[in-house]
Structure 1
């Protein structure tokens, strides 16, 4: 009996392989539990404020979209010009003044 136990203790598979397998399999179950805690905590944090939740209600969503469309409908979206921002080595006030003077000359 004791001879068999000593043979198993000297066996490399029993000495190194089985603990490694237990570590890998046990670690995956442990990590699953810890990550589940993280996602549960995120769900709790993401709950909406009741006032905001009432406003985002899907039944009222079409009414909100129609209101926004009425606001945007009257805007003039065709009369804009693309003005580039200053490069990192340029002075922002100086480049803005130059662009304003070019726009005023053109108008």
Structure 2
């Protein structure tokens, strides 16, 4: 009789307890995944707002592949080593060369954006 009682009462009880614990695992996993994604989105929005407040312009639609293509197209064979000035040196030559390089890179970026 006790064996029959276990099959009628105990087995369904253990099946429900263990099955619900197994099922709740998936519900909780969805909740944790959603919270993680939401937190990442909030952090990204906070970072974007901080960058725009500080005056940095963000480019839209930038992917890893597009950045890789930009880096791959850079001419790394022809470059000039520019030594940064020391505290006691005059900055005019350094600033002139730096400005020339910035103008050249700006022109290249404008040409790429127009194409």
- TM category, shorter: 0.3 to 0.5
- Say which one has the larger Rg: 1
TM-score by length of 1: 0.41
